[in-house]
Amino acid sequence: MSVIAVVDYDMGNLHSVCKGLEKAGANPKITDSPIEIEQAEAVILPGVGSFDPAVQHLRSRGLEEPIKKAISSGKPFLGICLGLQILFESSEEGKEPGLGIIKGTVRRFVHEPEITIPHMGWNQLEITQPGCALWQKLPPQAWVYFVHSYYVDPTDPQVKAATVTHGSQTVTAAIANRNLMAVQFHPEKSSTAGLQILSNFVQQVESMVPA
């Protein structure tokens, strides 16, 4: 069974993510060790909270370079919620530079009378990369669970793997670029669809491990 490193930097919903991965048949390992991240077959970067503390915690633990190295190595990588946002260059939420792995900015929802901020609850995905491994066996416009006030705005629209509409605003819900995938929603809280997404990620990891 493949080991999936779940990065611990004091900003993640780690145990819920691990429970979802275990249900999907994976062997998750919570860690902040660069060596264990390097040795794992895949890496998940979860996250809840604010942008600046997240990148500060990552850097204080010396995890920025191991994360970049894991992505550049070609091993499957999945960011979740704040773990998506900190992959970008900057955020309107704070002043710290992001990891800059994906070009673009994290932006705040524009206030509208008919919408709530944060965007919280169930909403439907509009898939823009049907071939992305995360979406296999999902029903059309699958319902997933969101909690966020900010959304990513990639410079290259081709990295968008799914969008979601909140009020009149259609924003990025997921990105995918080769082995790097990341989602704004919480698959570990998204019932059947979320478990399928995690299972798809696990299956991709298993397919890359030599027999």
User: Among 57, 148, 166, 186, which one carries the catalytic annotation?
Assistant: 186
Residue 179 makes CB contacts below 8 A (sequence gap 6+) with: 71, 74, 75, 76, 77
188 is catalytic: yes
User: Among 57, 81, 119, 148, which one carries the catalytic annotation?
Assistant: 81
DSSP letter at 134?
G
Compute how many other C-beta atoms are within 10 angstroms of the C-beta atom of residue 121.
11
Query: Which CA distances in Å does 145 have to 183, 191, 195?
Result: 11, 9, 12
User: Which amino acid is located at 201 in the chain?
Assistant: F
Question: Secondary structure of 93-119 in the HEC alphabet?
Answer: CCCCCCCCCEEEEEEECCCCCCCCCCE
Q: Which helix (H) or strand (E) holds 172?
A: strand 169-177
Q: What are the catalytic residues?
A: 81, 186, 188
